[in-house]
Amino acid sequence: MLNKKEIEKRISATNEAGLVTILYEALIDNFKDSIKVIDEGNYNELNSINKNSRDIIAELLATLQGDSDIAKDLREIYISLNKIITEAETQRDKVSFKMAIKIVEPLQSGFKELEREIDPKVVTGITYGKTNLDEYQVNGNRTFEG
């Protein structure tokens, strides 16, 4: 699991597919944590983790645009995931969380591949020194100075 600084760094340097990849990674981590807290009998923590998972699923649903086949299929997957984890929480069922991981892993892998193929978003800013003020723009691995 990434710490907060690492996540912030990844978010600022990635593209849209990378953002979805990060959400999938968070879901997988949550599902693994859910299994762990069921083993520990910490059901209040299970509720908290699942609330976060449902928030992530809601965010993934909000990113879907249009009625393409891919958007429809992802929408169905996200709704099914929400149902699976809700029932798993109620029944304290580790097998359902393992199934949820198996559903999300291929999606995460696919978006990770997309992340590599698409240029990262452009980052711009200003640097300053004692005697100068420079603009910069980073696009992928290239830096342009103004």
Give the tens place of pLDDT for each residue, 7-28: 788 888 788 888 999 999 999 9
Domain that holds residue 16: 4-119
**Tens-place pLDDT, residues 70-125:** 999 999 999 999 999 999 999 999 999 999 999 999 999 999 999 888 876 554 44
Rounded CA separation 44/114 (Å): 36
User: Residues 24-52: pLDDT tens digits?
Assistant: 999 999 999 999 999 999 999 999 999 99
Q: What is the CATH number for 17?
A: 1.20.120.340
Q: Exposed e or buried b for every residue in 32-48, given b needs 16+ CB within 10 A?
A: ebbbebbeeeeeeebee
Q: Indicate the pLDDT class of residue 6, thresholds 50, 70 and 90.
A: confident
Q: Which of 81, 85, 92, 91 lies closest to 37, judged by CA?
A: 92
64 located within any domain: yes
Q: Look-up: residue for tokens 């699991």?
A: 1
Q: How many domains does the chain have?
A: 1
d(CA 111, CA 106): 9
Kindly report the pTM of this predicted structure: 0.77
